Every structure is written in structure tokens, then in C-alpha cells.
Amino acid sequence: MTAEELALRRTARRLALQFAAVIAVIVALVGVLAYALVAASVAESVDRELSISGQDLRGDEAPADTWVITVRDGRVASSKTLPAGLPDTAALDQAGRTGETVDTDVSADGRSYAVRTRVEGGLLVQVAIDRHESDEELTRLAWSLAGAGAVGVAAATVGGYLLSRRAMRPLTDALAKQRRFVADASHELRTPLTLLSTRVQLLRRRLAGETSPARLQSEADAVVADTAALTAILEDLLIAADDRPASVGVVDVAAIAAEVVTAAGAEAEAGGIALTLDAPSPAVAAAGEAPLRRVLFSLISNALDHAHSSVAVGVTEEQRIVRVRVADDGPGFRDGDRPFERFASDRTPGTGPAHYGLGLALVADVVNRYGGSVRVVKELPGGVVEATLPRA
């Protein structure tokens, strides 16, 4: 896991927890408000029932879970069998003594009763209502709100984490691309810049001394070649760092391959390598001309670096794809080689270093942008790299 991915996960977790905390506070406030409103409504309903019962009901007219106790001239009468804890004699005494309405709560045998005692026209009336059902309703409401809130907070946490990761992904990709660009630039530019600086210093010394024009011309040609190599590296870096959507057009792969092979002919001849092309024209693909040119240049350049005596470039047009194959008679690729990773290298005893640099990684990047693919063909002798592009 890369440093960018670790940073993405940490940031996403922090944002998700902060989002969940905000949601938890909102859910708690809404839950408390809802519970308070329902509790007030239940209390109002109980109060209304107490008032109606006390004013209009007598004796056996009391509904279920409601008891009416009357006291006249010291005689106590009730609507039905009274539960434990009733009547509330203290409330009866207080109401009879003061003439005021007295509201009390009585609890007995695990039950809770709302009790109202008042004096009505010389009659002392006490109404009691069982609050067990309303208390259970409020308890169920509290648990329901708590459960719904917990589920909501959990869902908000997961959703916040996923959304945070999605929102942070472009930034993370941009940072990763920036770091790769800096790493690529420092790796690729160090050697050509050092070589260019050395050649310029030598050229300055020779200009100061007595040097033949032919020697000066050779040094100047070397500086020009190094500058061209540096320009090519910069072009590769810019293509690799460009994350804009690929511009797709209709390009003749065979024609571009012919141009690149012609341009690389001098390098191949200088190395004693036979560079051949088999590309029946036209072979049109859906790609960009400049990036495709860099792809072919990188494939051929890599083959020339590893070939012993020959490099063969082939372009074929098939039903849905255009296939480009570059084969050399070098040592080829072994199991475990990573040619399409940036700056991967393989050192085989006795054969020297084999560096893939940015070239083949750039090939894979560009080809993938256009919906194609690239692979190493290990079934064939030598080093064979094959790229496919969608046919236009």
C-alpha cells in the first residue's frame, strides 16, 4: 500500500468520524425533541382523561384502568375493586381540608397511577388512571429512537467513509502523479544532464586550446545528440504526467511505424543491428498521433538497446485491433522481470544490466489510455513486446 493510499484512508476515517459525530448530535437532538413531544402529548391525554372522569363519571361508568373513589359524609365508595395503593388517603385528606385539586402519583406492585383528587359540590372525588400502558409506550418509543439513531449513525459513518474516499481520490491521484513525475524527472534527467554538462565543459576546454575543426565538430554533434535525447526524455515525462482524457483520432500505425524506423535507422546501423519493418499500409487505429509515435519510438529504442544483431518491427491489421510487434534477438525476458514498471531493472550474471527505464512503462500507460493492451510474448525467442490498439 502506497503512502498516498494510507493518507487517503486516514483522512477518510477522520472525515467519516466527524460526519458521524455531527449526525449523532442531530439524531440525539431530534430524538430528545420527539420523545419530549410524545411525552407531553401523553401527559396531556392523561390530564384530559382525569378531568373528564372527575366531572362526568360516577360509579360503574368508569372505563377500564380507571377508578373513581367518592367520599360523602365519611362514607367511601369506589367504582370497582381498587388495586393496591388506592385510594390515596393523604390526597383525600388534603383536598377535603383545603378544597383544592390535588394531583399525585401513586406506585404499588410495579404499577404507576396518576391520581387527581377534588371537591365537587360537597362530594370528594378521587380519580386514578393506570399509567402502565402509557409508560410502556414511552419506553418503546425511547428504544425505537435509540435503535434508529444508532443505525442512522452507523450508516452515516459508512456512507461518510465511502464518500470521503471518493471525494479524496482525485486529490490523492494528483499527489501521486506529482510525486511520480518528480521521481521520474530526477531519475531520467540526472544522467543526460550530467553528460551534457561534461560535454560542454570539454568543448569549452577544446575551444580554449588547439583543437582541429573536425574534433570540434564531433564534440558539437555529441552535444546536439545529448540535447535531442534530453528533449525526448522531457516529452516522455510530459506524456506520462498528462492526465487529461486522451485525444482520439484516426491514425495510420503503419505509416508512423515507417517514419520511426527510418529515424532509428542511423542508431541501428551504428550499433551493427539490422532494423526491418513489415507493415502493410494502411493500418488505421483509434489513437493519438504524437503519443503513438512516442510508443513506437520507445519500443524500438528498447529493442535496439537489448538486441544482438537484429530488430524486427511488424504491424498487422486484424478484425477489431491493430497489432504492433517489436522483436529483437537479445536475451529476452525472464520470469520475474517487470518491464512495464517504471525504472525496473534486471541484472543477469554475465550479461550486464538490463534497464527498462521509463520507456516501456510509458508504452503501457499510453496504450491503456486508448483502450489497448501491451504484453511480453515469452513464447517466442528473444525479446518480443506486443501492443494492440482498437481499430478505427
Last-in-domain residue among 86, 105, 137: 137
Structural domains of the chain, count: 2
Cell of 273: 543491428
Query: What's the CA dihedral at 365, 368, 373, 378 to 10 degrees?
Result: 20
Residue 202 is assigned to a structural domain of this protein: no
Last-in-domain residue among 104, 137, 170: 137
Q: Which residues pair with 386 in a beta bridge?
A: 325, 375
Q: Are 114 and 126 in contact (CB under 8 A)?
A: no
Quote the domain boundaries for residue 272.
246-390
If you search the block for the grid coordinates 410495579, which residue do you land on? 110
Residue 196 is assigned to a structural domain of this protein: no
Residue 126 is assigned to a structural domain of this protein: yes
List the pLDDT tens digit at each of the 392 positions of the chain. Answer: 666 667 777 877 888 888 888 888 888 898 899 888 988 888 887 887 777 654 455 545 566 778 888 888 778 777 677 888 888 888 888 888 888 888 888 888 778 888 888 887 778 888 888 887 888 888 888 898 888 888 888 888 888 888 877 777 777 777 776 666 666 665 666 666 677 777 777 766 766 666 667 776 776 776 766 676 666 666 666 665 555 555 678 899 999 999 989 988 888 888 899 999 998 878 899 888 888 888 898 899 888 988 999 999 999 998 889 999 999 998 888 776 666 765 555 434 344 444 444 567 778 888 888 889 998 888 778 889 999 999 87
Residue 209 is assigned to a structural domain of this protein: no
DSSP string computed for 199-212: HHHHHHHHHHS---
CA-CA distance, 381 to 353, in Å (whole number)? 19
Query: What's the CA dihedral at 30, 36, 37, 41 to 10 degrees?
Result: 160
Q: What is the pLDDT of residue 388?
A: 92
Closest CA to 58 of 153, 127, 140, 152: 127
Q: What is the pLDDT of residue 124?
A: 84
252 and 120 belong to one structural domain: no
15 φ/ψ angles, rounded to the nearest 5 degrees? -65, -40
Residue 153 is assigned to a structural domain of this protein: no
Residue 194 is assigned to a structural domain of this protein: no
CATH number of the domain within which 291 lies = 3.30.565.10
Q: What is the pLDDT of residue 277?
A: 92
Closest CA to 16 of 132, 128, 159: 159
257 and 377 belong to one structural domain: yes
Residue 98 is assigned to a structural domain of this protein: yes
CA-CA distance, 389 to 248, in Å (whole number)? 11
Q: What is the pLDDT of residue 353?
A: 40
Residue 273 is assigned to a structural domain of this protein: yes
Q: What is the pLDDT of residue 190?
A: 66
Contacts of 10 (CB under 8 A, 6+ apart): none
133 and 250 belong to one structural domain: no
Last-in-domain residue among 137, 153, 186: 137
**Residue 73: left (phi > 0), alpha (psi -120 to 50), or beta?**
left
